Structure 1
Amino acid sequence: MENKIVNVAIQVLPMSDKYEMYDMVDEAIALIQNSGLKYRITPFETVVEGEYTEVMNLVQRVQAACYASGAEKLLCNLKIQSHSTNDVQIEDKVGKYE
């Protein structure tokens, strides 16, 4: 599975008494945008496409970015779609709607 392309929906919910949640989420999204991986931003989560280990590494960095931008606590929800023999691509699910 490590070499297969997967889709991971990442939703971060950083919490802080001092900083605005959306400012911290913006930092996470900027990191995703600069990751070199394919992604789609939606109102509730960002879907990232890449090799499993690459995406999981990105998830760790996204959490670290939230803490670095002021989060005191963080909820990180993930949805992972993988396939036993094929790659999973964003376009396969939503391409017909674009």
Structure 2
Amino acid sequence: MAVAELCIFHLGTGSPSVGEYLKPVIKVIEESGLKYQLCPMGTVVEGSIDEILELVKKCHEAILKAGAKRVVISLRIDDRTDKELTIEGKVKL
């Protein structure tokens, strides 16, 4: 299991507002079945590498369908093989 942080936003729409473009992206994340946590500057998800990469692809498609002319995606993945990773475990002291 891996934990990933995904930040996706649009450019080239003539508006600095992001809500209209991110609503369909959040819907894709909710429907993915993956455990996730929305954060002020991105979303953290938990899943296999394949699940996470497939989710990123679907999020990319969703924001383009929402009218974005240009998309910027930042993705950080933490994947350990020596022990289980969870969202909660990453912030537990």
TM-score by length of 1: 0.84
Given the alignment of the two structures, is residue 12 of structure 1 paired with residue 8 of structure 2, yes or no?
A: yes
- 8 Å contact from structure 2 (residues 11, 71) kept in 1: yes
Q: Equivalent residue of 2:83, what SS?
A: coil
- Report the Cα distance in structure 2 between the residues aligned to 1:59 and 1:86, rounded to whole angstroms: 24
Q: Say how many residue pairs are matched.
A: 92
Given the alignment of the two structures, is residue 42 of structure 1 paired with residue 39 of structure 2, yes or no?
A: yes
- 8 Å contact from structure 2 (residues 9, 72) kept in 1: yes
Unpaired segments ≥5 residues, structure 1: none
- Report the Cα distance in structure 1 between the residues aligned to 2:42 and 2:55, rounded to whole angstroms: 14
Report % sequence identity.
27
- Report the Cα distance in structure 1 between the residues aligned to 2:89 and 2:50, rounded to whole angstroms: 21
The amino acid that maps onto 1:44 is: M
- Report the Cα distance in structure 2 between the residues aligned to 1:91 and 1:17, rounded to whole angstroms: 36
Computed over aligned residues only, the root mean square deviation of the Cα atoms, in angstroms, reads 1.6
Offset, 1:85: 2.7
1:23 maps to: 20
Q: Equivalent residue of 2:85, what SS?
A: coil
- 8 Å contact from structure 1 (residues 38, 49) kept in 2: yes
- Report the Cα distance in structure 2 between the residues aligned to 1:58 and 1:89, rounded to whole angstroms: 17
Runs of 4+ in 1 over 6 A off after TM superposition: none
The amino acid that maps onto 2:45 is: V
TM-score by length of 2: 0.89
